[in-house]
Amino acid sequence: MEIRVLQNILEANDQAAEENRRRLAETKVAALNLISAPGAGKTSLLEKVIPLLRARYQVGVLEGDIATTRDAERIGALGVPVIQLLTNGGCHLEAALVARGLAELPLEGLDLVFIENVGNIACPAEFDLGEAAKVGVLSVTEGHDKPAKYPLLFHELKALVLNKVDLLEHTDFDMDVFLSDFRAINATAPLIQVSCRTGQGLEEFAGWVELTIQQAQADG
């Protein structure tokens, strides 16, 4: 006996994500899901951009990690509320775990929540967390071929931060190939070139984040 079902396999996650989205809209909080490979500079980017946003906005952070609390300690040093989400071996965050993290944050008083995903550019692309936008971080030392190799993620992004551009001249990163591949996968997401070491591009990224916050406040 064959039972026809037609059901999205990730439906349970998607439902939990919608619940997160509703909760965030209710409190007019913008959530950004930060995705990159390990070492691309997600935590460094947060350390640099949060101080630029804090004058006008209240920011909270959910730190996804497989096993340690080191990133949460780094962010905690900035004096913003941070909740560690340990996946205990899991290679990506799922919406139900994010829901538990959101419940621990003082959402009513926040404007923005950064969700730092587990370092990985394959799995996190599959799992909606209820965020307003997925933001990718790619560092030039990883190579220009990453969009073509991980198209699903680069297709889903609403913005891409290209980090460590101060190292460009020391690498074989081919900007032309990178740009044409990226635009062939994602025609609209802004590309923001950043160096967390020199500070280049950080104001531009902060400006993009600010637009997202304003959008969430207008929609909420």
Partner 1 sequence: MHELGIAQALVEQVEAVRVAHGGRPVLAVGVRIGSWRLVVKESLEFYYEAITRGTALEGSRLEVETVEATARCRRCGGEFRVEGSLLVCPDCGSLGADLLSGQELDLVSVELED
Please list, in sequence order, all residues whose beta carbon lies within 8 angstroms of the beta carbon of residue 124, skipping any fewer than 6 positions away: 33, 35, 92, 93, 117, 118, 153
Among 22, 38, 106, 152, binds partner 1 (CB under 8 A): 152
CA angle at residue 63 from 18 to 156, to 5 degrees?
Answer: 50
- Distance, CA of 52 to CA of 35 (rounded, Å): 21
The answer to whether 9 contacts partner 1 (rule: CB under 8 A) is yes
176 binds partner 1 (CB under 8 A): no
Minimum distance, C-beta of residue 122 to partner 1, in the bound complex (Å): 6
Q: Rounded to whole angstroms, what are the CA distances from 39 to 16, 84, 138, 170, 219?
A: 29, 18, 9, 17, 34
Q: Which range, of 47-55, 66-74, 104-112, 178-186, touches partner 1 by CB under 8 A?
A: 178-186
- Residue with smaller CB distance to partner 1, 61 or 125: 125
Contact between 129 and 31 (Cβ < 8 Å): yes
CA gap 199, 203 in Å, rounded? 8
Q: How far is the CB of 171 from partner 1 (least distance, A)?
A: 22
Q: Does residue 13 interact with partner 1 by CB under 8 A?
A: yes
Q: Contacting partner 1 (CB under 8 A), which of 148, 167, 168, 177?
A: 148
175 near partner 1 (CB under 8 A) = no
Tokens 């790619």 locate to 138
Cα–Cα distance list, 38 to 56, 91, 119, 165, 215 (Å): 30, 11, 4, 17, 30
The yes or no reply on residue 19 touching partner 1 (CB under 8 A) is no
Q: Which of residues 22-81 bind partner 1 (CB under 8 A)?
A: none
122 binds partner 1 (CB under 8 A): yes
Alpha carbon separation from 196 to 1, 18, 44, 128 (Å, rounded): 59, 33, 7, 27
149 belongs to the binding site for partner 1 (CB under 8 A)? yes
Stretch binding partner 1 (CB under 8 A), from 4-12, 21-29, 100-108, 201-209? 4-12
Number of residues interacting with partner 1: please give it, by CB under 8 A. Answer: 37
Residues that bind partner 1 (CB under 8 A): 1-13, 90-92, 94, 120, 122-123, 126-127, 147-152, 155, 180-181, 183-188
